[in-house]
Amino acid sequence: MVYHSSFVEEEGVSKACGCPLLPLKSHVRGPAPASDPDKVDIVDEAITFFRANVFFRNFDIQSPADKLLIYLTFYINVALKRLEGCRTLAVGTKAIINLGLEKVPVPGEPGFPFPGLFALPQSEDEAELFRNYLKQIREETSGRLLSCAYRPNGTPNKWWLAFAKRKFMNIIIP
């Protein structure tokens, strides 16, 4: 049974490309609204559910937030793949920063991992808003993932990095 997002009915949340721009507990600047620091946000859910959801080849979408959960699960998988060969937290941090500097494709552009999952942007402004939101949520996810993938002494956590070998929804990671 796939774990779904708890953000089913979020009122007052704007959307871009059919995806809700959910609030984040983030210090990274971007278009996401600020969330209450004591509440769970979509990044917390994605990291918590990752090790269970990564085993599934199919994902039944029950809400628009599930689309974002799918994207984040894939992104965590990509990030773990990059961290796989990094033996220290410092080297892992550099790898994650380099991943964050890569261009973020939006639906309809080459390199977007889920064609058809998100609606195509209706305007250049919507595409840029969605790109900035994805960039912000990827940076926030990367920062939180480092604390899971590495122990406090800076050594890799094998119970997390072992999942780098998994293929989420049968998508091969470059």
Which of 62, 79, 69 shows the shortest CA–CA distance to 22?
A: 69
* Alpha-carbon gap, residue 26 to 47, rounded angstroms: 15
Per-residue confidence of the chain (174 residues) as pLDDT tens digits? 677 777 877 677 888 998 899 999 988 888 988 888 888 999 999 999 888 888 877 878 888 888 899 899 989 989 999 998 899 999 999 999 888 888 889 998 988 888 888 999 999 999 999 999 999 999 999 999 999 999 999 899 988 888 887 776 656 555
What is the pLDDT, as a whole number, of residue 173?
Answer: 57
Whole-prediction pTM: 0.90
Contact 52, 33 (CB under 8 A): no
Delimit the domains of the chain by residue range: 15-170
CATH code given to domain 15-170: 1.10.1760.10
